[in-house]
Amino acid sequence: MHNAAFKELGLNCIYLVFDVLEESLGEAVNGLRSIGVLGFNVTIPHKIKIIKFLDELDDSAKLVKAVNTVIRRDDKLIGYNTDLYGIERVLREVDELNRDLGLIIGAGGAGRASAIALTNLGFSEIIIANRTFERASNLAEQILELGFSAKPIPLTDLPRYASSANLIINATPLGMAPSLISETPLKRDHIRRDSIVLDLVYNPLRTRLLIEAERAGACTISGLKVLAAQGAEAFKLWTGIDPPIDVMYSAALKALRGEKI
């Protein structure tokens, strides 16, 4: 999607993908610093471990405690979290979003970005469900410290809280291809007709959770929208140019469908 936007804007830039082993992360970061890249993204499993190799963190990365985008300014590498921006942007586009109760499933990097996004959107209450209860508890504590109402719950209580949530965000890999594709954190019976369900998993495009939510009559949002929005923000940080997000979204969609971009 980045290369599609570079092409559309006629920019002489290229986005490349590398597999980096955990033990080589520091060397890889210093290599990127030396060759003078505009910046780079970092994904699972390096979003937290990368922090010690960077010079500065933007507030977004400090709040989420994870980095997905790095920019090089002079000889400094600065870490950002554009997942936070992407989630917030996509939710701001929802007409008449009811901000009473937001339920987040997951308390890893994406779960934390979701929770901060909901505070920025002014949700009255944020429920955090996670497999490891302690992580949900720590995140809820951070949200409380920011002055918002938050409650951690174990995954077993999910159906009960889901039935009253206005917004549900899946921030776990449940439903993701290939190995977790048949999983869903919730079934249709526990999803309100008038709720919004955002699945951060974007492969497949229609996850089991989104299918369950559609069957319940809820409004669904695919994680691909967030992927494009977080990518657009990273693009802007690297180049100073607002990219054509629709071009990025279509390129990502084609890539997912195995079509030529």
Q: Active-site positions?
A: 47
Taking each helix axis as running N to C, give the angle between helix 223-239 and helix 82-92, from 0 to 180 degrees, rounded to the nearest 10: 120
- Interface mask toward ligand NAP for 228-257; x: CB under 6 A: --x---------------------------
Q: Contact between 227 and ligand NAP (CB under 6 A)?
A: yes
Q: Contact between 157 and ligand NAP (CB under 6 A)?
A: no
Q: Which residue in 128, 176, 234, 247 binds ligand NAP (CB under 6 A)?
A: 176
Q: How many residues bind ligand NAP (CB under 6 A)?
A: 25
* Cβ neighbours of 196 (radius 10 Å): 20
The answer for 74, left when phi > 0, alpha when psi is -120 to 50, beta otherwise, is: left
**How far apart, in whole angstroms, are the C-alpha atoms of residue 30 and residue 80?**
18
Contacts (Cβ under 8 Å, ≥6 apart) of 132: 107
Element (H, E) at 78: strand 76-80
Q: Within positions 108 to 137, which residues make up the interface with ligand NAP, using CB under 6 A?
A: 108-111, 130-132, 135
- Interface mask toward ligand NAP for 182-221; x: CB under 6 A: ------------------xxx-------------------
* Cβ neighbours of 41 (radius 10 Å): 17
The binding site for ligand NAP (CB under 6 A) comprises 44, 83, 86, 106-111, 130-132, 135, 171-174, 176, 200-202, 223, 226-227, 230
